[in-house]
Chain A
Amino acid sequence: MIRVAAVGDVHMDVDVLGRYRPSLEQLGERADVLLLAGDLTRHGTVNEAECVAREFGDLPVPVVAVLGNHDYHSDQQREVTKVLAAGGISVLEGEGITISCRDVKLGVAGIKGFGGGFAGRCASMFGEQEIKDFVRTTEKAATRLQAALLSLDADVLVALTHYAPVPDTLLGEPLEIYPFLGSYLLGQAIDSAPTSLAVHGHAHAGVERGVTPGGVRVRNVAHPVIRQAYSVYQLEAAPPARTPVSQGAGRGIDSLSHDV
């Protein structure tokens, strides 16, 4: 058994410093790892990243993060990543990490992800170059997430993204903006591995609980959704039994592996 704490969309700046800290002080008693699901800053500046490192650094458990769209706003995502890493926070962008805790090896594969929409109502690789670039960005992210998940040798596998892999957790958001909130390609990548849990943020008006077509539990941990400093999910070492999802129909992830 392993306990995974998670929160996203904390949008740190100097005015938020210290808000989370009282609840984080007891983190070691409640969880074995903390996942941060992107949008850690307001504008993606180095100064805001330093606030994230102060608030979520030096904790009694490992902290693993992905960046979100806000963290890219100032085109300083590399500097932001360095500041977080210097603060002891592991930032994933298409990589995986394993964490051993009480005889259980947890694998976390993380990437920011991107939009595109969901089955039947998604963008396609067609038309103007700008649309193709949009879709290609998501395809590459999904391919990298799949590769990271499959590369991990772990007892429990968790996928960490900022953008949503399923529409279930967007319930409450306007339908018109679903294509900007996530993509089914991320869900397909998650279903291609024996994933136990997928965690994302980004959808402030959504709901916490969803599931991929392949049966992987999805949790939207955007702070406005969970309305607490973090949520905790307890996972067993054996992944839950579920129905394998066919990768052969349409434009499957397998066909994109050359883009890695």
Chain B
Amino acid sequence: MVSEPRVVDEYADAEVHRMLTEDGTICEQGIEVIRRDGAVLLRGQVETVHRRDAIGERVAAMFPDKTVCNDIVVTAVAGPSEPEVIT
């Protein structure tokens, strides 16, 4: 009897985190990937909408049988709040 190869979640987690850092089109180290039974939740901050969507697409390709919930936000670049006085 030939057994099916085991899919080990922990190795998949390591693979997706390394992909997010090492893929030259992504290069993000601060993205949180949370896996649920049927979904993958992405959280974190990036500089542009394009970067957020690119991460969602790459993760979706790695987990084709799961729904990817992309909650990554684009970091605001508004003017500063009041100065902090360091005394």
Whether A204 and B29, one on each chain, are in contact in the complex, defined by CB atoms closer than 8 angstroms, is yes
8 Å CB interface, B9-28 against A: 24, 27
Minimum C-beta distance from B81 to chain A (A): 7
Whether A228 and B80, one on each chain, are in contact in the complex, defined by CB atoms closer than 8 angstroms, is yes
8 Å CB interface, B47-87 against A: 47-48, 50-51, 75-87
Minimum C-beta distance from B37 to chain A (A): 23
Whether A224 and B30, one on each chain, are in contact in the complex, defined by CB atoms closer than 8 angstroms, is yes
Contacts known (A23-B77, A23-B78, A223-B75); A233 close to B84, Cβ less than 8 A = yes
Whether A5 and B48, one on each chain, are in contact in the complex, defined by CB atoms closer than 8 angstroms, is no
B interface, by DSSP: helix, strand, loop or mixed? loop
CA–CA, A223 and B30, complex, Å: 12
Mark contacts of A6-27 with chain B using CB atoms, 8 A cut-off: 1 yes-contact digit, 0 otherwise: 0000111001100110110010
CA–CA, A145 and B83, complex, Å: 26
Residues of chain A lying within 8 A (CB to CB) of residue B47: 10-12, 15-16, 19, 223
Whether B78 and A229, one on each chain, are in contact in the complex, defined by CB atoms closer than 8 angstroms, is yes
Whether B78 and A70, one on each chain, are in contact in the complex, defined by CB atoms closer than 8 angstroms, is no
Contacts known (A5-B80, A42-B27, A70-B27); A224 close to B86, Cβ less than 8 A = no
Residue of A nearest to B43 (CB): A205
CA–CA, A22 and B79, complex, Å: 8
CA–CA, A3 and B77, complex, Å: 19
For B30, give its contact among A30, A205, A236 (CB under 8 Å): A205
Mark contacts of A189-231 with chain B using CB atoms, 8 A cut-off: 1 yes-contact digit, 0 otherwise: 0000000110000001100000000000101000110011111
CA–CA, A223 and B76, complex, Å: 9
Number of contact residues on B: which range applies? 20 to 34
* Number of residues of chain A lying within 8 A (CB) of chain B: 37
Residue of B nearest to A15 (CB): B48
Contacts known (A16-B48, A70-B27, A204-B44); A232 close to B86, Cβ less than 8 A = no
Whether A196 and B78, one on each chain, are in contact in the complex, defined by CB atoms closer than 8 angstroms, is no
Residues of chain B lying within 8 A (CB to CB) of residue A5: 80
Residue pairs across A and B with Cβ atoms less than 8 A apart, 23 shown, are: A3-B83, A10-B47, A22-B77, A26-B79, A30-B80, A31-B83, A43-B24, A196-B86, A197-B86, A204-B29, A204-B30, A205-B32, A217-B86, A224-B45, A227-B75, A228-B78, A228-B79, A231-B81, A231-B84, A233-B84, A233-B86, A236-B87, A240-B87
5 more CB-based (< 8 A) A-B contacts, given A42-B27, A204-B29, A231-B81: A16-B47, A30-B83, A43-B27, A217-B86, A223-B75
Which 3 A-B pairs rank lowest in CB-CB distance, beginning with the nearest?
A204-B30, A232-B83, A224-B45
B residues near A (Cβ < 8 Å) are 24, 27, 29-30, 32, 44-45, 47-48, 50-51, 75-87
